[in-house]
Chains A and B, each alone.
Chain A
């Protein structure tokens, strides 16, 4: 490992990102985040979607200004996009109307670097990243892996101190992603990259352990640093190495530690129980995971990393299902393990009618929003409740996107349970037997 890990390049202190809602409530994305980036290290930000890690990356890039807290680069306060950083995007974010060479040169031209020098530097970056021969191609002619290489070359050509990567491999297939990771790590270890440090966002635990010297694990709602983990395994790292596996298991455990599903709200008037955000998971996935857990292979208990690997799911796919099962009282998740509860086992063994009955019962008992809408429908003379009313009740306590997601979740679950239904044309909830 490079041993010059003492100079602080970037310092964030007490960073908070919050949005004021029209209702006067504030919606907190990030809270109390400290982060120091030093010369020679690769730091990973690991967390579920919605934990604010991408926002944090954009704060470092100067694209987003934090609501509170200090951001310093080389001791100077950051007030906007800085020269010292360059970003690689999950979506590649290439200009489709520019060729590979023109895309790579874009950042240099914007800065007014003389044409001759810009061309020479672009050629250098293109060679380094393995794009020689593709200079005159347009992005649409390239495969995903090649496109992301252009993304890397475009970021490196401006010689940033810090390379920021926002889930750079998650839009690629498994093999391509692995090739790109290895190529990047090799260049980094050989110190051929014109950068001092890498900060990457990921939701892939193995990827974080494979690449990073230090991992910050984020909790959600609001995003906070839940744990900081040093990875001191020597490069090149082997995924099958017991120490590597132990570390992955450890992080799974930390991320599924028994905890309240959302951090307690610091607001003066806490939200009512039914105004809790839900993540939409299809009932097919819920039933599928319950069935898998109940099968003789697992006997009602599974290790999440193992389960993820055998189902080819990443944590962003698997965790929401596991959490929804936990919320509905069909499973318990703790310390990187998931096991079926008694109702969960009953559900897995039941027929369709019995499943629906059980699901409806648990929906009323464990999902306050479902119970709330059901209650309103029973009281309403018309047995109809406009969705706008429910949305208005949620919106003071969560972002608009979360409110939509929550409504989608409760609608689909209630439809499956035949508890109540939703009419898209009139945008109203209605009792199942209303018409």
Chain B
């Protein structure tokens, strides 16, 4: 991050002798660096080695596997950041690019994450023949697709809402585009972006687990990690090993939270634009620790200063560059002038490209699936839709009242909130084997009993959003309700439910999106060679992927994306708009 406080250097340089905090912080930093080096070295190993001896169920191998999974997550996050900074910036700065990029982003985030992996494995393997790097890339890409879209959306929104007066200051002082980006736009977007990074990560663990053991057609790739350990445990019916995987995951998520996100959130707090002090200032012991060190800070100071200088970097332009810049400016101006002809040409080009894409997809699908096949896919989509709706309703009935009760008790909320966030991050697919064992043991109907797995991991979003909503509910309104003796059903209907509704919608959108994604794993679960399948679009895609039947994969993913888009447009967006318009607590 480049907008680091360059002031650190001034203060820290005064006395660079180590203090007691350095003793604590230094091993931490060196240790982390060493871990990255070890894990990174293994990534370039040849593919044969991995395929020959994929994973063993020895629990002592788990730390190593956990490290590999964590690094995949980090790599995906880095890729997501790069994507966010380029894609969202382009969409925000160029009107015409935005016309294409924003709807595209909307579609991209509706495509089931596990769908991407079915497509891209072959591509990435061909990209790095013979090296495990190709398979790594495929896994990282899958995780990337679970993280990047909402980050890009958040960044885009922030870029579009940079306060006008700050914009004018930058204009008035003649900031270059680079300077404006790093000193105004990126810092302004930082709190929203960090929050979305956290949400992305918390959703991401699910896909780390799902993407490490990939089977597409006759190619099975197993990357060492917690996910593949789990897959092996399932194949060997080792419930004990599943337990070890759960434990390892718990520790990894805890470490991620403590070492990465707490410090990041605490640090990003200074970029909030409201000039009044925050009611709750996020804290991180690690950030405090680093801030208290002397030696470490003195060591970091030059980097901070360098980054600061990079942010303010102003190219001393040679003549050729100036000409290039002038050409770019002319281009930008072309973009601003609403020249009808250019617009029409642009729309026409987009329309042609869209039609061509749709046509080639239709031809491809038609080559392997008939019309009845399309009908089947839609029917199965309906089955999965029914599951999602029923599950959301059930989760709502359980968690909204509980969330309100918890949220109104600040001390309880303080304890429940981190737990709910933690549970949301915990990849529910680690627990699937337990459910499958139970279903097999009691001979239950998989069509019904596999369903709850879809919402196992994402119901917590509803809980912690409702808790947050109830905690933020104005005290004078609850007091007014109490003094007028508003109780029972009237209290829920006229006081509390409207108050938490906007928060609930936010949580429910995330939960339903997660449920659609999870359906691909949840509707087709296995334990050893026992296969349990529920009828639905998720199992349809899962089976097509296992069989390497590309026309069916494409059809299944297209239908699911369509269902998700329509579900969002017809249900969640109107609810969101309603909450925004009528239920905002000003």
Contact = CB atoms under 8 A, between A and B. Distances in A.
Across the A-B interface, give the 7 residue pairs with the lowest CB-CB distance, nearest first.
Answer: A93-B165, A107-B173, A109-B312, A112-B314, A97-B187, A97-B271, A110-B173
A391 to B, nearest CB: 17
A383 interface: no
Contacts of A107: 172-173
Given A87-B168, A101-B7, A109-B312, A96 B271 contact: yes
Interface of B: 3, 5-7, 11, 163, 165-166, 168-176, 179, 183-184, 187, 190, 270-277, 312, 314, 582
For A85, A98, A109, A147, which residue has the most chain B Cβ atoms within 10 angstroms? A109
Interface string A104-124: 001101111000000000000
A139 interface: yes
Contacts of B163: 91, 93
B171 A97 contact: no
A86 to B, nearest CB: 7
A365 interface: no
Contacts of B7: 99, 101-102, 136
Contacts of A140: 274-277
23 contacts: A61-B172, A63-B171, A81-B172, A83-B174, A87-B169, A89-B165, A93-B166, A95-B166, A95-B169, A95-B184, A95-B187, A96-B274, A97-B3, A97-B271, A99-B5, A101-B7, A106-B169, A109-B312, A110-B174, A111-B174, A138-B270, A140-B276, A141-B277
Interface size of A as a range: 35 or more
Nearest to A135: B7
Contact of A63 (B172, B190, B270): B172
A315 interface: no
A110 B166 contact: no
A154 B274 CA distance: 20
A115 B171 CA distance: 21
A139 B275 contact: yes
Given A111-B314, A140-B277, 13 more contacts: A58-B168, A61-B168, A63-B171, A81-B173, A93-B163, A93-B169, A101-B7, A109-B179, A110-B179, A110-B312, A112-B314, A136-B7, A158-B173
B580 to A, nearest CB: 13
Nearest to B269: A97
Interface string A126-142: 00000000001011110
Nearest to B312: A109
A107 B275 CA distance: 21
A390 B271 CA distance: 42
B408 to A, nearest CB: 29
A141 B7 CA distance: 17
B343 to A, nearest CB: 14
Given A63-B168, A95-B183, A95-B187, A106 B173 contact: yes
B173 A111 contact: yes
Contacts of A93: 163, 165-166, 168-169
Nearest to B268: A97
A83 B172 CA distance: 8
B183 A106 contact: yes
B166 A86 contact: no
B275 A86 contact: no
Contacts of A136: 7, 11
A96 B273 contact: yes
Contacts of A109: 179, 312
Interface in A57-102: 58, 61-63, 81, 83, 85-87, 89, 91-99, 101-102
Contacts of A138: 270
A81 B171 contact: yes
A95 B184 CA distance: 8
B187 to A, nearest CB: 4
Contact of A91 (B165, B175, B176, B312): B165
For B172, B275, B277, which residue has the most chain A Cβ atoms within 10 angstroms? B172
Contacts of A81: 171-174
Nearest to A108: B173
A87 B164 CA distance: 14
A63 to B, nearest CB: 5
Contacts of B172: 61-63, 81, 85-87, 107
Nearest to A119: B10
B172 to A, nearest CB: 5
Contacts of B6: 102
Nearest to B170: A110
A85 B190 CA distance: 31
Contacts of A98: 183
Given A61-B172, A85-B172, A110-B175, A96 B314 contact: no
Given A110-B312, A112-B314, A89 B169 contact: yes
A247 B506 CA distance: 58
A375 B335 CA distance: 45
B422 to A, nearest CB: 29
A63 B171 CA distance: 7
B271 A110 contact: no
Interface in A37-67: 58, 61-63
B174 A147 contact: no
Contacts of A94: 275
Contacts of B183: 95, 98, 106
A107 B270 CA distance: 21
A110 B11 CA distance: 23
Nearest to B175: A110
A61 B167 CA distance: 13
A291 to B, nearest CB: 29
B60 to A, nearest CB: 45
B562 to A, nearest CB: 31
A89 B168 contact: yes
A94 B173 CA distance: 13
Nearest to A96: B273
Contacts of A154: 169
A86 B168 CA distance: 11
Contacts of B179: 109-110
A139 to B, nearest CB: 6
Contacts of A106: 169, 173, 183
Nearest to B7: A99
B171 A96 contact: no
Contacts of A110: 170, 173-176, 179, 312, 314
